[in-house]
Copies of this chain bind each other. A is one copy, B any other.
C-alpha cells in the first residue's frame, strides 16, 4: 500500500491532548517536539511508544474531522466547536442520540403537562403536587442538559449563544414558578407557561421548526410594513364609517369609533360580511359603495400585496439559506481535510485516513461501504483524495451501495418453468392493458360506492352483513397486489410510493372486512377509507403525478410548518386558558349581540318540545384540547368574531386584543405557508423546464446514482490492507465482496443510490451562481483567513521546515 505506517498529521488537534502526548513521550524521546521526532522515518519508526502516540494523535484528528463534517451537515456554527479534550467528551455526550431523545421527551413532557394542570382535560386531571413534581423533575433534566452544554461550550461561548441564554432564563423563571406552585399547593396565573415550547424548539430533532421560525422572523419586516399600510386604511375607513353611519341608531357596528375599528378589522377577515353592511344598506342603498371600496382595497389589493412581499422575501431568503449552507459545508470539508492530511503528503487523503474518519463519522458503516465511498470520491483514480475530490463528500456520503445485478428481475436465478411463469406475470403487470383495466376497476368501484351511498339516503346503519360488492372489489385488488409483488419482486414493488399506497389501502380494506365480519365496532371507520382507492385514478395524467409527487415531497416541510403552527397554538392556548377558562357556558352571553349563537333553550312548538342549540358555548378555553379546537376555528376565520364577542361580553373589551393578535400571527404563518407552497411548486416547475426532463416517470428509477467499478486484485488488496495494516477483525462485508468478485470474473460494478433532496435540485438550479459563490468565498477567505489558506496552498513549505 502507498500509505506509510508513520505518516504524521499536518496539524495536531486539541492542545491538551497533544500535550498529554508530549508527557507520555517524555520518558522515551525526551522533551523535544514529538512531531518533529517522528517525521524522520528512519529514526522513530521502530519505536513502538512513538508509534502508539502517533496512532493516538491520528485518532484525535479523525474524531475532530468527523465533528467538523457533522457540524457542516447540521449547520452548527464553528464557534461552538469543542476546543479541548474535556469539552470533547461533553460534546460527544450532548451529541448522542440518547441525549437527543431524552431532550425531546423532556420538552414534550413539559408541554403535555398542560393537559393535567389547573384547567385540565377532565379525565387527565392530576393533583397539584403531582404535576408540579413532574414539572420540577423535567426542569431538572433541562438544567442537567444545559450543564452539559456549558461544559462543552465553555462559559464564554455559552454566554454568547443567544438561544441558549434565552432558554436558561426561561428555565430559571419556570423553576421558581414550579417551586411556588409546590409550596402554595395551588396554581397561580401562570402565563409564562406559554414559553414552554422554547424547550421543544431548542431540541436537536426540531431543527426544521427552528428554520421555519427563523424564516418567519426574516419575513417579518416587510410584512409589518404592509400591515401598517393595511391598518392605516382601516383607521381611515373607520373614521369615515363612523361619520357616515353613526347617525343610524339601528347600526351598532359603527356606533363608536372603537366599534367602527373593530367592525372593520373583522370585515378584513370578511367574517361579518355582509351583516356589517346590512343596517346601513337597508337605510340607504348607496352605502354599499363604502364597503365595496373598503374590501376591494384591503382584501383584494393590500392583502395580495402582503403575499407578494412575503413571497418575494421568501424567495430571497431560500436562496441565501442555500448559499450559506453550501459554503458552510465547504468550509467544514476544508477544515476536515486539513486534519486528515499528513506532513509527508499534505495534498491528499489516503484510504487509511478516510477509513479512520468514517469510523467516527458513520460508525455503523461496513468496511466495504467505506472503501466504495472512497472509490466514489476518488474521481481522478490517484491513490489519494485531493481537496477537489473531497469537496464532494456530502454528495457521496448518504449512498447505499449494492452490486449491479447481472439480470433484470429477481427471478432470473430460478429454474426454467418458474422463470417462464414469473416472466409472464412480469410482462402482464407491466402492460398498459393491465394498468388501464385496473383503472377501469377503480372507476367502477368509485361509481359503485357513490351509488350505494346515495341509496342509503336515510342515514347509514351498520350491519354485520358485508356487501358482496365489497368482497368482489377487494378480491380484485388483492389479486392485483399479489400479481405485482410476484411479477416485480417485493423490493422493486415496495420501492415505488404509489405501490406502497395501493398496498396499504388494500390492507386497510382487508382489515375493515375483518372488522365487519367479526363485528368489531370501533374499527368500522376503516371501511370508510375505501374511497381512497379512487386516488389511484389520478396517476393517469402527468400533471396529477407531478402535483401529487410534489405533495409528497413537500410533506416533511409541511409537517414542520404544521408543528410550528402548533407551537404558536400552544402559547396562545395557555394564555387563553389563563384568562378565559370557564367564562363561556350555555346562555352565557345574553347581553351581547351574538347571544343567539350561545343560546340553549327548549322551544315548545305545539305539543313538541325541542332543544334549540347555538352550540358556540362549545368553543371555549376550558382546557387545552378545547382551546386548540377553538384556535383552529379562529384560524379558519369564518365566524371568529362570534367567539371573540362572546368572550368579550363576559370579560373586558381588552380581550379583543388577544383575538386580534392571534389573527395577525396566524395571518403571518399562513402567508408564509402559501409563499412556501408557491415557491416550492414554481421551483420544481422551473427546474423541470430548465432541465427539459419529465419530472418523474413513474417507471423510472429516481434519485442520485453513483457507479464504481472494483477489480478482483483491488478487492483482495483492500481486504489484505484492512486485515493487516488496520487490524480490523470484522471483515465479512469485504470478504463477501471478494467472493462475489470471484464468481463474476474480473470486475464488478457497484451502484450507490440515494433519493434526490431539495439540495440536489437547488444545486442544479443555481449551477452558474454556485461557481460565483465559490469564487467569492475563496477570495474572502484568502483575505480574512490568509494563514489557513497559505498552509493549505503551499504545504511543502511547512513540510520542508520540519525536515530541516
A279, A454, A461: most-surrounded residue (chain B CB, <10 A): A454
Interface residues in A300-315 by Cβ distance below 8 A to B read 300-301, 304-305, 307-309, 311-312, 315
Expressed in whole angstroms, the Cα–Cα distance for A629 and B273 within the complex equals 12
Which residues of chain B have C-beta atoms less than 8 A from A618's C-beta? Answer: 278, 281-282
In the complex, residue of chain B having the shortest beta-carbon distance to the beta carbon of A550: B305
List the B side residues contacting A531 at CB < 8 Å: 235-236, 239-240
Whether the Cβ atoms of A304 and B678 lie closer than 8 Å is yes
Q: How many copies does the complex hold?
A: 2
CB < 8 Å: which of B243, B274, B562 contacts A639?
B274
A273 to B460, Cβ gap below 8 A? Answer: no
Segment 211-234 of A: residues with Cβ below 8 Å from B: 222, 225-226, 229, 232
Tell me how far the C-beta of A673 lies from the nearest C-beta in chain B, rounded to whole angstroms.
Answer: 7
- 1/0 per residue, CB under 8 A from B, across A271-308: the answer is 11111001101100100100010011001110011011
In the complex the two chains form, what is the Cα distance from A78 to B463 in whole Å?
71
Query: Quick check: is A670 within 8 A (CB to CB) of the other chain?
Result: yes
Let me know if A247 is at the binding interface, CB within 8 A: yes
Question: Cβ of B615 and Cβ of A229 under 8 Å apart?
Answer: no
Which B residues touch A460, using CB under 8 A? Answer: 242-243, 246-247
A257-B457, A547-B226 known; A305+B270 contact, CB < 8 A: no
Q: What residue of chain B has the Cβ atom nearest to residue A247's Cβ?
A: B459
* Cβ contact within 8 Å between B292 and A454: no
Task: Mark A240-264 against chain B: 1 for CB-CB distance below 8 A, else 0.
Answer: 1011101101100001111000000
A544 at the interface (CB under 8 A from B): yes
* CB-based contact B625/A271 at 8 Å: no
Contact B685 A243 (CB under 8 A): no
Interchain residue pairs A-B with the least CB separation, the first 7: A278-B615, A308-B681, A246-B459, A270-B638, A304-B677, A236-B531, A274-B633
For this complex, 20 residue pairs linking A to B, each with C-beta atoms less than 8 Å apart, are A226-B547, A229-B538, A239-B453, A240-B528, A243-B460, A243-B527, A246-B460, A250-B613, A257-B453, A257-B454, A274-B633, A274-B639, A275-B615, A282-B618, A300-B670, A301-B677, A307-B674, A315-B682, A596-B596, A638-B638
Known: A232-B535, A240-B528, A309-B681. 17 other contacts (CB 8 A): A222-B543, A225-B541, A225-B543, A236-B535, A239-B449, A242-B456, A244-B528, A247-B459, A247-B460, A247-B461, A250-B613, A256-B458, A257-B453, A285-B625, A288-B632, A296-B562, A304-B677
Q: Which A positions have Cβ atoms within 8 angstroms of B?
A: 222, 225-226, 229, 232, 235-236, 239-240, 242-244, 246-247, 249-250, 255-258, 270-275, 278-279, 281-282, 285, 288, 292, 295-296, 299-301, 304-305, 307-309, 311-312, 315, 449-450, 453-454, 456-461, 525, 527-529, 531-532, 534-535, 538, 541, 543-544, 547, 550-551, 558, 562, 596, 613, 615-616, 618-619, 625, 629, 632-633, 636-639, 670, 673-674, 677-678, 681-682, 685
